[in-house]
């Protein structure tokens, strides 16, 4: 549904100026997600450190001509643009979405709760898709910005909406309720998520219920909501107690499924849920209750519930054959999720070729010629090099498009296949070389076969890196900085074990000011991955000078010997004004000029032309330790004096920085011009005082290889060190010290997490395997996923158990462990 820019101005009640009839179909708040600039209204939402106005020049250059802003803009620089100025751009976005929603009389399901919102939404989509043309929230778009962007997708072809809403503080839900305007509510549960924003669970429940104040009916999981639900409409509940609309009588695990016996309107029914974990069963029963409320017959519900498929809620980037990477996002396939996936693919691929394997988009409610025309436009806008089209509808469209000589040739190579089987039969691994591959297929095409065919077959231990969590941690630290303070992100040691290129690309997208690596080779890897931002090399040597200059890296100079060696090299090469960073030793006694050498250094710098000093820095020894505050102050005093000496001698400004991760928080007065963020970026707060609420970035997972029962007195592992004192169940898991799992974690020192329980490591850790005692853990079987560290087993716990620090645990993870990158 198109609006003109004038329509939007009138809906926002802006003064009588004429804004023109430019059609507006897309609202964009993130410059990286721009696809159709000529039909886009960019909504400038400023963050804690950056004004959104900073993105206007780039967007104008890319063709955007309509902007919604809160701050005055020098319009003379943008003669063809229209600027709609409002007091608050977020509220304006919400107002536009609420008015847009009011134009539709279709049923809308609104979902909220502490957990399970996205799963319930996606499963309802699976269950209801045969009967409706559904518009729904993309992924986890449930925030004050995500909800209006989701609702804006509604159009005349849709017959049902499903939107989720998440809140973290009182007062937020009222705004989301006005946007979603649900006709049926779903409350999944009330748990501990975002507890810090509310007085107690009762207040949080009351705030969430506000989403449904005007909804005639509400479905709720009564057993998982501790407080009384105060709701004036029809309340439909499920739970074990009598009086629930759907009363659950029995739950019994039968192999890979949960068999549920329940009673609805005095009629007993059986449900086979294809999952056995508690959360999945809860979510499936909530969906079942929704279908009952919507009037579905019991046999239809029983059949569809049994066919539920797992929801992969995140886009995963996995290493694949021939130095390729696969982005598997085949849990859903529609235009909106395709646009999001293409945006992520473009960000990650950088300068590498980008390939898409795409199936038919089913039940879109849009005429196929129009639908696939839009798909081709999306592929073109995102710079795709190759398209493998799978399915009769998309291949028929492309065949006609390729035969149409009146149109310009497509800018990407195409290969057409009627089915997934045909794709697998007619392609070979050699066709895919050093490219990024997006898999986007409707469920019926079973693209998991293609994913399995493309991915490297390595052992089942993986390190998952949550790039969204890393960005959130970055924002937490950025929120502590003065607006003018720059930030250098430490990505040395393979980004603390998390992977260099992928992490650095995400940081570059976030407009971090500097990256730092230990060695020149690491910098080369980043340059080859498409990283163009400044990179400091902290441990250069004479053998790396060629590499440093050839790849525009900036070396740390920490001694007179290194100073003269690099100066001679630059003189020989005829290079002038090369950027360098000077390291000062203020107490670490590792690398750096001594404070008393500053005068001599300043004289040398003043007489030469080969260097330009980009920064002077030093390293705090114990900024996280209150007991060492006096020594930290001594270091800062030495650094300040040396900086003053250099500033007096040099005739140009340079960046000063001494604060590391811990100091960003503990010593805000010593931010100087820049800070260096390291371990905190990856979710570890080294401060001994109250911890920041950082998100877990790295999760190390493995799987169970075998389960056996042994009797009291038997032993486990090398040296017979693991002795059991009772009849026990032992699970062997696929991780050992060759993967970086420390041998000190054996014999009860370490724990792993499986099926919702902690299990101690028993016996010695082997090279490729370890054993855990799962006697008290129910239903452990081969193939079960085991968390080695992550949300349930913090990496700090492993560090404490081995007498080391989190840095060592993270950087010790072997390169044979597959890294999987995802965004939520």
CA distance 375 to 397: 11
Q: Cα-Cα-Cα-Cα dihedral of 678, 684, 687, 688, to 10°?
A: -150
Residues 6 or more apart in contact with residue 691 via CB below 8 angstroms: 685
Inter-CA distances, 311 with 270, 366, 382, 384, 696, Å: 23, 25, 26, 26, 21
Residue 695 CA from chain centroid, whole number? 11
Residues 6 or more apart in contact with residue 318 via CB below 8 angstroms: 325, 326, 328, 451, 455, 456, 818, 820
Please count the CA atoms within 13 angstroms of the CA of 238 that sit on its side-chain side: 28
Number of helical (H) and strand (E) elements in the chain, helices listed first:
25, 39
Token pair in block for residue 797: 């716990």
The C-alpha angle 206, 212, 217, rounded to 5 degrees, equals: 120
Strands 40-43 and 66-69: parallel
Q: Which residue has the tokens 């970055």?
A: 474
Residue pair 147/176 in contact (Cβ under 8 Å)? The answer is: yes
Would you put residue 239 in left (φ > 0), alpha (ψ -120 to 50) or beta?
left
- DSSP letters spanning 361-424: --S-SS-HHHHHHHHHHHHHHTT--EEEEESHHHHHHHHHHHH-TTSPPPSSEEEEESSHHHHH
Catalytic status, residue 492: yes
Buried b (16+ CB within 10 A) or exposed e, 104-121: beeebbbbbbbbbbbbbb
Give me the phi and psi of 326, to 5 degrees please.
-110, 125
Residues 6 or more apart in contact with residue 249 via CB below 8 angstroms: 240, 261, 262, 263, 268
By the 10 Å C-beta count (0-12 exposed, 13-18 middle, 19+ buried), 646 is classed as buried
Please count the CA atoms within 13 angstroms of the CA of 495 that sit on its side-chain side: 25
Q: Quick one: CA dihedral 188, 194, 196, 197, positive or negative? A: negative
Token pair in block for residue 665: 């928080």
Give the CA radius of gyration of the chain. 29
Element (H, E) at 575: none
- DSSP letters spanning 533-563: S-EEESS--GGGHHHHHHTT-EEEE-SHHHH
Catalytic, out of 492, 583, 656, 701 = 492
Residue pair 263/285 in contact (Cβ under 8 Å)? The answer is: no
Number of neighbouring beta carbons within 10 Å of residue 160: 21
Number of neighbouring beta carbons within 10 Å of residue 46: 16
Catalytic, out of 17, 475, 606, 718 = 718
Token pair in block for residue 527: 């340059």
Strands 325-328 and 436-440: parallel
Q: Reduced to 3 DSSP states, what percent helix, strand and coil does the chain have, rounded to the nearest 5?
A: 35, 25, 40
Catalytic status, residue 670: no
CA distance 628 to 485: 25
Enumerate the active-site residues: 492, 718
């Amino acid at each position: 549904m198109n609006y003109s820019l004038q329509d939007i101005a009138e809906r926002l009640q802006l003064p009588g100026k004429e804004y023109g009839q430019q059609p507006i179909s897309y609202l964009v708040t993130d410059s990286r997600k721009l696809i159709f600039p000529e039909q886009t209204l960019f909504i400038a939402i400023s963050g804690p450190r950056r004004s959104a106005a900073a993105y206007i020049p780039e967007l104008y250059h890319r063709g955007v001509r309509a902007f919604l802003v809160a701050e005055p803009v020098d319009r003379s620089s943008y003669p063809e643009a229209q600027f709609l100025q409002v007091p608050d751009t977020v509220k304006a976005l919400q107002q536009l979405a609420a008015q847009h929603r009011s134009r539709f009389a279709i049923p809308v399901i609104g979902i909220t709760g502490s957990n399970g919102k996205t799963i319930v939404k996606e499963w309802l989509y699976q269950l209801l898709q045969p009967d409706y043309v559904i518009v729904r929230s993309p992924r986890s778009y449930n925030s004050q910005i995500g909800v209006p962007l989701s609702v804006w997708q509604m159009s005349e072809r849709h017959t049902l909406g499903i939107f989720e809403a998440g809140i973290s503080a009182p007062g937020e839900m009222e705004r989301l309720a006005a946007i979603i305007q649900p006709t049926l509510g779903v409350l999944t549960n009330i748990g501990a998520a975002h507890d810090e924003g509310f007085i107690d669970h009762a207040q949080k429940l009351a705030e969430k219920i506000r989403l449904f104040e005007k909804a005639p009916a509400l479905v709720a999981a009564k057993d998982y909501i501790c407080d009384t639900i105060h709701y004036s409409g029809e309340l439909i509940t499920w739970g074990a107690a009598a009086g629930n609309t759907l009363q659950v009588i029995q739950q019994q695990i039968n192999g890979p499924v949960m068999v549920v016996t329940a009673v609805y309107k005095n009629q007993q029914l059986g449900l086979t849920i294809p999952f056995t974990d508690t959360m999945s069963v809860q979510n499936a029963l909530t969906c079942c209750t929704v279908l009952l409320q919507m009037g579905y017959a019991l046999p239809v519900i029983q059949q569809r519930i049994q066919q539920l498929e797992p929801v992969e809620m995140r886009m995963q980037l996995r290493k694949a054959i021939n130095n390729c990477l696969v982005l598997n996002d085949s849990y859903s396939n529609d235009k909106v999720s395709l646009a999001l996936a293409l945006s992520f693919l473009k960000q990650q691929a950088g300068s590498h070729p980008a390939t898409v394997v795409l199936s038919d988009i089913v039940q879109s409610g849009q005429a196929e010629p129009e639908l696939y025309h839009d798909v081709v436009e999306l592929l073109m806008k995102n710079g795709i090099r190759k398209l493998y089209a799978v399915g009769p509808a998309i291949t028929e469209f492309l065949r006609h498009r390729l035969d149409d000589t009146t149109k310009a040739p497509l800018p990407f190579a195409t290969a057409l296949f009627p089915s997934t089987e045909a794709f697998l039969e007619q392609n070979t691994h050699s066709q895919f070389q050093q490219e990024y591959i997006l898999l986007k297929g409707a469920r019926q095409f079973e693209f998991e076969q293609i994913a399995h065919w493309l991915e490297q077959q390595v052992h089942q231990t993986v390190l998952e890196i949550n790039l969204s969590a890393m960005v959130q941690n970055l924002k937490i630290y950025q929120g502590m900085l003065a607006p003018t303070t720059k930030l250098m992100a430490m990505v040395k040691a393979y980004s603390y074990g998390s992977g260099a290129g992928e992490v650095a690309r995400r940081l570059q997208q976030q407009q971090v000011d500097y990256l730092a690596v230990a060695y020149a080779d690491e910098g080369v890897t980043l340059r080859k991955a498409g990283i163009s931002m400044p990179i400091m090399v902290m441990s250069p040597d004479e053998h790396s000078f060629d590499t440093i200059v050839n790849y525009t890296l900036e070396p740390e100079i920490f001694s007179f010997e290194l100073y003269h060696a690099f100066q001679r090299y630059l003189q020989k090469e005829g290079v002038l004004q090369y950027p360098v960073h000077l390291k000062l030793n203020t107490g670490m006694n590792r690398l750096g000029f001594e404070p008393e050498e500053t005068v001599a250094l300043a004289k040398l710098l003043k007489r030469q032309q080969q260097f330009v000093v980009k920064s002077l820095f030093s390293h705090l020894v114990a900024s996280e330790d209150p007991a060492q505050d006096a020594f930290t102050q001594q270091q800062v005093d030495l650094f300040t004096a040396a900086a003053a000496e250099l500033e007096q001698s040099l005739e140009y400004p340079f960046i000063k920085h001494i604060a590391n991760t811990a100091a960003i928080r503990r010593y805000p007065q010593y931010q100087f011009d820049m800070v260096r963020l390291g371990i905190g970026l990856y979710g570890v707060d080294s401060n001994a005082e109250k911890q920041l609420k950082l998100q877990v970035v790295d999760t190390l997972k493995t799987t169970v290889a075998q389960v056996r029962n042994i009797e009291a007195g038997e032993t486990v592992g090398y040296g017979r060190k693991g002795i059991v004192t009772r009849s026990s169940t032992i699970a062997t898991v696929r991780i050992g010290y060759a993967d970086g799992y420390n041998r000190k974690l054996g014999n009860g020192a370490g724990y792993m997490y499986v099926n919702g329980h902690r299990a101690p490591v028993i016996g010695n850790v082997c090279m490729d395997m370890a054993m855990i005692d799962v006697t008290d853990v129910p239903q452990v079987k081969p193939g079960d996923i085991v968390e080695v560290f992550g949300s349930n087993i913090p990496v700090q716990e492993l560090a404490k158990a081995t007498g080391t620090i989190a840095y060592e645990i993270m950087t010790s993870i072997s390169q044979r462990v597959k890294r999987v990158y995802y965004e939520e």
